[in-house]
Amino acid sequence: MFHKEGHKIIFITLVLVVGSFFLIDEFITNEWLRKGLMITLLVFFILILQFFRNPKRRTHANHVQALSPVDGKVVVIEEVLENEVFKDKRIQVSVFMSPVNVHVTRFPISGNITYSKYHPGKYLVAWHPKASEENERTTVVVENDNFGKVLYRQIAGALAKRIVNYAKVNTQASQGADSGFIKFGSRVDLFLPLDADIKVALNQKVRGGETVIAEVK
């Protein structure tokens, strides 16, 4: 199953790859070179398919846990000052996504969407300390009675050129449901209340919509 954001790119890539196969077969006479080029194109197409895959996840929706919004590796767990919305200290948990990870963004909790904003910006590498404030990004806040307000921020990386955000203010978010997509390498920051009980560790691999990031104490 592939994400709808990839349908156009997958189709265009398929047409180009098939067309290239015919050209290579017609004009390249060297057997090893012809096979090598065809294999390279095939591998490239498989990578595109992998990037836009959208596997189903077994989300056990509940009101006391915040789930990982994306697949990837935990690269930050620290207390920080969140300056855009809360203007106070929060626990930040950041998940870095490599190009081979699933890039679907999912709602970490259920609740009412109280804030959703897009920010144009730079394309620093996603793990850069200033990427959270200077890169192209979207910020979304979801609120419920158990967690209060939880903020997650999609951040473009050096390769990401488009962030897709489906979250709309005053609509209901469903935990684990599709909330957006980031194309080609990125990270997501999750800002949680200071009393949240963090359930992940640095460098731990997580799965969007399944891995528990934190619980209400």
pLDDT in tens, 45-71: 988 887 788 788 888 889 899 999 999
pLDDT at 89 over 80: yes
Residues with catalytic roles = 186
HSE toward the beta carbon, residue 179, CA cutoff 13 A: 34
- Look at 135 and 87; give whichever has higher pLDDT: 87
pLDDT score recorded for residue 142 = 97
Mean of pLDDT over the chain: 88
CATH class of 65-215: mainly beta
Alpha helices in the chain (DSSP H): 7-27, 31-51, 131-134
- Look at 14 and 100; give whichever has higher pLDDT: 14
**Rounded to an integer, what distance in angstroms lies between the CA atom of residue 207 and that of residue 67?**
9
Instruction: Please report, for the chain, the start and end positions of each structural domain, with discontinuous segments joined by +.
Output: 4-51, 65-215
**Rounded to an integer, what distance in angstroms lies between the CA atom of residue 110 and that of residue 112?**
7
**pTM for the structure as a whole:** 0.84
Residue 59: Cβ-neighbour burial (10 angstroms; 0-12, 13-18, 19+): middle
% of residues, the chain, pLDDT over 90: 59
**Residues 156-209 pLDDT 10s:** 866 555 788 999 999 999 999 999 988 766 889 999 999 999 999 999 999 999
